[in-house]
Copies of this chain bind each other. A is one copy, B any other.
Amino acid sequence: MQMSKTKQNLERSKSVEKSAAILKGAMQEFLKHGYAGTSMDQIAKVAGVSKATVYSHFGDKESLFNALMQDLVKDKFQTVLSLDRPQSLEQEPQKVLSAMATKMIETAQNDRAFCDFMRIVIGESGRFPELAKAYVNNMAKPAIEVLTHYFQSHPQLKLADPEATVRVMMGSLIYFIILQEMMHAKDILPLESDRLIKTLIDLITKP
């Protein structure tokens, strides 16, 4: 039918601002109400955009959700990377590991969206296995690998199984966050993060 374009109008590429507004609105709603609990009308409204525009940018609800979560995984990945790349690798492991753990918990405590994000990833991991795998590949795996490499390059820690030890450390911290921050257990099972971190580091760098 129409061959009339073909000039160079790749420019007006569907107005990046609208796309960004839609993604921002979708993030707000999906994080708050979950996938099934969020409607396209809501998203269009909070994005300040017509529903038709939402559909012209992202074909359907599932595509929008996937696109958003992929973005979000990459975004939060930056956080995790900066947490796990210890700035001062040369200090004693006790200090380095302790600082990493502290920063990780502090991040979770201050970044509300991070907890909401984790909740969605876990909660929708059954219906969106690709989302779960994106989390594993882009967040859990790099974090585990960086930490494993750190453990392996510090033989003075005398760790029999650095890979498994990483899992112990990550698990302790993440379950603490899940329990205290996500499951509202702060009042029911109070525990200072410092005590957990000290105990954990002491176990790993056993005196």
Binding site for B on A (CB under 8 A): 32-37, 116, 119-127, 129, 132-133, 135-137, 140-141, 144, 160-161, 163-165, 167-168, 170-176, 178-179, 182-185, 188-189, 191, 195-196, 198-200, 202-204, 206
User: When the two chains form their complex, are residues A129 and B203 in contact, meaning their CB atoms are under 8 A apart?
Assistant: no
User: When the two chains form their complex, are residues A167 and B172 in contact, meaning their CB atoms are under 8 A apart?
Assistant: yes
Q: Which residues of B contact A204 (CB under 8 A)?
A: 203
Selected from B129, B167, B191, B200, the residue in CB contact (under 8 A) with A184 is: B129
Q: How far is the CB of A62 from chain B (nearest CB, A)?
A: 13
Selected from B36, B125, B140, the residue in CB contact (under 8 A) with A189 is: B140
Q: Which residues of B contact A136 (CB under 8 A)?
A: 179, 183-185, 188-189
Q: Which residues of B contact A35 (CB under 8 A)?
A: 36-37
**Max count, chain B CB within 10 A of own CB: residue among A126, A140, A144, A165:** A126
**Max count, chain B CB within 10 A of own CB: residue among A171, A182, A185, A203:** A171
User: When the two chains form their complex, are residues A133 and B188 in contact, meaning their CB atoms are under 8 A apart?
Assistant: yes
**Max count, chain B CB within 10 A of own CB: residue among A174, A178, A183:** A183
User: When the two chains form their complex, are residues A179 and B140 in contact, meaning their CB atoms are under 8 A apart?
Assistant: yes
How far, in angstroms, from A54 to B72 measured CA to CA in the complex? Answer: 39
5 contacts between A and B (CB under 8 A): A116-B126, A132-B184, A133-B183, A161-B199, A203-B206
